[in-house]
Amino acid sequence: MKQPVVPIRSTTQEFTQIEDIENDLVLFTDGSVSLVITTTAVNFGLLSEREQEAIIHAYAGLLNSLSFPIQILIRSQHKDVTAYLKLLEEQEKLQKSPKLAQSIHSYRLFVEATVKEKEVLDKNFYIIIPFSRLELGSAPKILFGGGKPGLPYPKEYIFDRSTMVLYPKRDHVVRLLGRIGLRATQMTSEQLIKFFFSIYNPGQPAPDVSKFIKP
């Protein structure tokens, strides 16, 4: 006799070990916290030799100035240009100038040919600054482990403590990235929720998460 199929009822949280996302921070089930910074990029290959040397020197200065660990994440995603091509086609039809319409037409054909020959990727760059649960203090659960699963301290205390430690580190990293010519900002709670949703639900539209964000 065949055994009945038991549906999987596990949630994404069980795999990500995320306890909560609040105050623009990610709280994990063991009491550790992460702050995520998103940053722009520079097309290094288009820079002059002097500009490249300046960026390399500034980047080396950033790394040498760090007294705490960071994680650099580069996320590549397939870029869907269908909507962009449709927009170009609509603009081409609206043009009253034949010369301008021909220019848009030629550009649209160029983009279509490029997409067919090469895979178009959208790259996003992130810097994660971690806060270890060991920085919370000497709770028995932290020092010896074991016991009942759960956070070693109340959420409010963990967020307050991690904020005091992470914010100066964030400001330091953002300031040094600015010297390289990069614009960096801390991801908000809403952005973080959508970010993790897109990772574990590729191709699905992001849900409305505003109701989950605490004012």
Average pLDDT over residues 133-146: 65
Q: Where are the alpha helices (DSSP H) in the chain?
A: 12-16, 49-65, 82-94, 98-117, 140-144, 155-180, 189-200
% the chain with pLDDT above 90: 30
Bridge partners, residue 39, by sequence? 125, 184
Average pLDDT over residues 186-201: 88
Q: What is the pLDDT of residues 64-115, one digit of tens each?
A: 989 999 999 988 877 677 788 888 888 888 888 888 888 988 888 888 887 7
The per-residue pLDDT for 14 is 60
Structure tokens at 2: 């065949």
Q: What is the pTM of this model?
A: 0.72
